[in-house]
Amino acid sequence: MASNSASISPNKRFLIFFDFDETIVDETSDDMVVEAAPGQHLPGWLKDTYRPGRYNEYMQRVLAYLAEQGVTESDLRSIMEKIPASPGMLTLFQFLRTRPAHDFEVVLVSDANTFFVEAWLRRAGVRQLFHRIFTNPATFNKNGRLVLRPFHSHECQRCPDNMCKQVVVRDYVARRTQERSRPYQRIFYVGDGANDFCPALSLGPRDVAFPRRDFPMHRLITETHEAMPGEFKAVTVPWVSGEDVIMRLRKLVAE
């Protein structure tokens, strides 16, 4: 699923997490696969099976339906590869790539799946930038159907049943801090959705949350500051383009 963290240089100064849908890419990959369905829409009976908090199970049914309609691995890959990057995101990746080797450890945390994420990253030529990828496992079975599984189970009431990104972020930071024998200077989180708010809650006052401006993550941070001052500890820097993230990172790496 991703490279072993033990092989990552222990000298990285900063750790930066990225969401995928509507953060790295400017669409939701799960929504885009509907383009492969007959008439580019799903039947009502299938859409009616969705239950709040159980989106992963719903997508398992969607992918099974698409396979029954003759949609192939090649069809799905083609759709993923055509999704546009969010504004300035490829410029941000280029910035991270050209920094000194000891600057950034880059991790992706997504509620999409391994096939969608890997297909897009490889097509964009940025797969090697990511030291680790945490997402729902998805593999093609012998019948050519993309079989999706939940990433894990957890106790968080805020997040969908199959993934709490805060659990992922906390576990990863704790494990890497132990492996490195020291903490990171700062941790950054770039996201957009409600499920990106939860991991950003675990950031400290020296860390930076980059919510996409006016998206759910940004609104939840704003509401939390108003309702419970001090609950959300990280510095908040909203972004419209990846260039906004670069501007803040440039200042911080120079400190």
pLDDT at position 6 over 90? no
**Average pLDDT value for residue range 68-92:** 97
Residues 6+ away with beta carbon under 8 Å from 100: none
Which residue in this structure is represented by tokens 């090649």? 74
pLDDT in tens, 160-172: 777 899 999 999 9
Instruction: For Cα atoms 158, 152, 75, give the angle at the middle one, nearest 5 degrees.
Output: 100
CA distance 151 to 113: 9
Selecting among 19, 30, 192, 207, the annotated active-site residue is 19
Selecting among 21, 30, 207, 244, the annotated active-site residue is 21
Take residue 89 and report the two structure tokens written for it. Answer: 């995101």
**Average pLDDT value for residue range 102-106:** 95
Q: Is 21 a catalytic residue?
A: yes
| End-to-end Cα, the chain, rounded Å | 34
pLDDT in tens, 59-74: 999 999 999 999 999 9
